[in-house]
Structure 1
Amino acid sequence: MSRSVKEGLARARELILSHRRFVILEHEKPDGDCVGSSLALALALEKWGKQALIVSDDPHPVIYDFLPGQEHFTRTGYLGLADFHADVAIFLDCGEPERCGRALPFAQKAKYWVNIDHHVSNTKFGDAVLVDPSAAATGEILWYLFGELGVNIDARIAVCLYVAVLTDTGSFRYENTTPRALRMAADLIEKGARPQEISELVYEAKPLSSVMLLGEALQTLEIHAGGKIACVSVTREMMKKVAATSEDTEGIITYPRSIQGVMVAVQFREADEGVHVSFRTRRAVDASRIAETFGGGGHPRAAGALIKGKTLPEVKTLVLEEVRRVLEQNPDLVVKA
């Protein structure tokens, strides 16, 4: 554990123990790590006799409805700023405050900010900065924070933290599956998390619209750079056709990434606010650096960006040119037309 992480743990511990009311902020379109971490933290704060409210700009994906602690969750628009005043705002899995969207004003009323994250692109904001890019998930950071605080992790908290690390490691398949992540998973199973039940609920309970959208997206599959780039597109028309939501796009990008020889997989999704671009890469390519070129960020193997003011075809041309340029600069990769 690095010195900065130890300092962040100490400062976060101090602020948590010395205050009573907390607001937990999630990033827009929260994923499994974000949702599991937020619910686990809210449940832990409740055990300490403290008040905790999770505020998000977007709903939780329905596949996580089985997780305990949902009573602590609310969305912007359902609660006024005057309805809850927090002493401390805790940002979870957020590389920068603006990623909270319209939930950010709830943090601006708090006296202290705690930043808990594992993204390498984190801007290190806040009064307590607990950022560890070596962690497999933000939930992993909470796991050892709870250890520092002497929290008794019960079955409810264990389930939430297990979902956090399970989803961010791709079911323990990605390269961020470290010995520490597996020790964490083992500890959570001992405390009541049930892997088979959780895997079925997370991965084998997809709505029909999700499967139908996958079929539509795969018809747009394109291969570039001699087989090293694969991309798919999701248009508004597709989503309307199968009555899909943005939640149904989760996991589509894993299919182009799984093609033999592909180094970079890209997914383009049309939305009212712009074109969402997701990147998944293999070891030789840093996805976060590509995303940062377009104002986004993320992890070395999974990142994303929102590009505004351009059409999907324009974004596609722009992004594929940049990905090709990155591949051409890597001497270990041979890129063909």
Structure 2
Amino acid sequence: MPAHFLQPFPDVGQIRVTREVTASEDAAIVMECGALHRTGVVGLDRSPVVNIDHHLGNTRYGAINWVDESAAACGELVFTLLEALGAPLTKDVATHLYLALLTDTGSFHFSHITARSFEIARRCVEAGADPQWIARTHYDSSTLGRVRIFGHVLNGMQLDETGRVALLTLTSETAAASGVSHDDTDGIINFPLSVKEIEAVVFFRQAGPDWRISLRSKRDIDVGAIARTYGGGGHKNAAGCTATGELAPLQKHFISLVVAETDKPSENKAIETASHTKSNPQQADPQEASTETID
């Protein structure tokens, strides 16, 4: 999460940012990271690693691995740990946990949300977390540069031939000229998904010789599988990876992969079709019911 978004939240000043773990540490707890090399932290091999995550494809790199792929957010795992320890759910702790739920579930949009997600959110609110303050503080803290780069990137949005997959691009040159950081582009990939016809988004951000590729999708379109093929990770509807090469061929390749995913039969569509046919038998030929799809 961009650092400036965290500043108003309780006790953030106590966090010490480091890129290296020393041998004097008793343990290193790594959260929200599917593979150790993706942390960008040096020296994690000097201490026992506790790996806490909920992403598909986690490589189980820790001395202790607590990976629950059914959890909608790492905040759910932290809440479970606090319960097991009998730790009090103070207002400040509840505020951070609610923020973790809010951001990790895409504001409660993603498909992996469960009843437990809302139960934990309820417990946090009961403990003093203020949903309105948290949402406004997080989402209404943009910089002017961030808003302008959003406009620039979205203005350059392209669609594939089907009109279902959107492509966004941000080069290092454009980012430098705008004076924005990598953090300032956080969240931009979600905007195209508000268009009814768009089912997936691919966002290319240049980082030195590499391209950081973010993927988002709706419903049963599994972009996480694509990311894992290229050493990345994430969830079915939100994932990312890194690739090196010429931009145009890379974009063409990844668009083709995403389009192929959108063309796969949807489990949800099949369920909707069966339900529709059962309740409206006169509207569908029984022999064709298994292949009919309803959006």
TM-score (norm 1): 0.75
Aligned partner of residue 16 in structure 2, secondary structure: strand
The within-5 A match list for 1:302-313 is 302-308=238-244, 310-313=245-248
Does the CA-based 8 Å contact 2:21-2:46 persist in structure 1?
no
- What's the secondary structure of 2:147's corresponding residue? helix
Structure 1 residue 145 corresponds to structure 2 residue 84: no
Among candidates 56, 63, 69, match of residue 120 of structure 1: 56
Cα drift, residue 312 of structure 1: 2.4
The residue type paired with residue 244 of structure 1 is V
- Is the aligned partner of 1:248 residue 2:184? yes
One-letter identity of the residue aligned with 2:256: E
Tell me how far apart the structure 2 counterparts of residues 168 and 273 of structure 1 sit (CA, whole Å).
29
Q: Which has the larger radius of gyration?
A: 2
Q: 1:232, 1:256 within 8 Å by CA — same for their partners in 2?
A: no
Pick aligned residue for 1:93 from 32, 37, 52: 32
Structure 1 spans left out of the alignment, 5+ residues = 1-30, 32-59
Q: Does 1:201 align with 2:137?
A: yes
Q: Aligned to 1:173, what secondary structure does the other structure show? A: coil
Counterpart residue number, 2:46: 109
Select which of 85, 97, 106 maps to 1:170.
106
RMSD: 2.0
- Which letter does structure 1 place at the counterpart of 2:257? E
- Assess, with a 3 A threshold, how the Cα gap between structure 1 residues 178 and 331 changes in structure 2: closer, same or farther: closer
What amino acid does structure 1 have at the position aligned with 2:253?
L
Quick one: which of 261, 265, 284 aligns to 2:220?
A: 284
Q: Does 1:190 pair with 2:131?
A: no
In 2: Cα distance, 1:294 partner to 1:272 partner: 18
Identity %: 33
How far apart are residue 131 of structure 1 and its match?
0.9
Pairwise CA distance, 1:193: 1.1
Deviation sequence 1:237-262 (CA, Å, 0-9, x none): 32123211111111111111221122
Superposed CA deviations along residues 91-117 of structure 1, whole A, max 9, x for unmatched, are 11111111111x240x3222x321111
Residue 283 of structure 2 is matched in structure 1 by none
Candidates 202, 215, 227, aligned match of 2:151: 215
Checking the alignment, whether the CA contact within 8 Å between 1:165 and 1:185 is kept in structure 2 is yes
Q: What amino acid is aligned across from residue 314 of structure 1 in structure 2? A: P
- Report the secondary structure of 2:204's partner residue: strand
User: Which amino acid in structure 2 is aligned with residue 127 of structure 1?
Assistant: A
Change (3 A) 1:128 1:197: same
Map of 2:254 onto structure 1: 319
Q: 1:273 Cα shift?
A: 4.5
1:237 matched to 2:173? The reply is yes
**Would the aligned equivalents of 1:143 and 1:161 in 2 still touch at CA under 8 Å?**
yes
**Corresponding residue of 1:10:** none
Structure 2 match to 1:224: 160
Contact 1:117/1:132 (CA < 8 Å) preserved in 2?
A: yes
* C-alpha deviation, 1:80, in angstroms: 7.4
Deviation at 1:128, TM superposition (A): 2.0
> Are residues 80 and 184 of structure 1, via their aligned partners in 2, closer, same or farther at CA, if it must alter by over 3 Å?
closer
- 3-state SS in 2 of match to 1:75: coil
Aligned AA (1:93):
E
| 1:31-70 → structure 2 map (5 Å cutoff) | 31=1, 60-70=2-12
With structure 2 as the length reference, what TM-score do the two structures score? 0.85
Q: Cα distance 1:174–1:80, how it changes in 2: closer, same or farther (>3 A)? A: closer
Give, in whole Å, the separation in 1 of the partners of 2:253 and 2:18. 34
Residue deviations 1:126-158 (CA, integer Å, cap 9, x gap): 232211111111011110111011111211211
How far, CA to CA, are the matches of 2:236 and 2:213 in structure 1? Answer: 15
Aligned length: 268
Call closer, same or farther: CA 1:273–1:150 in 2, change over 3 Å: farther
Distance 1:71 1:63, change over 3 A: closer
Q: 1:268 to 1:222 in 2, by over 3 A?
A: same
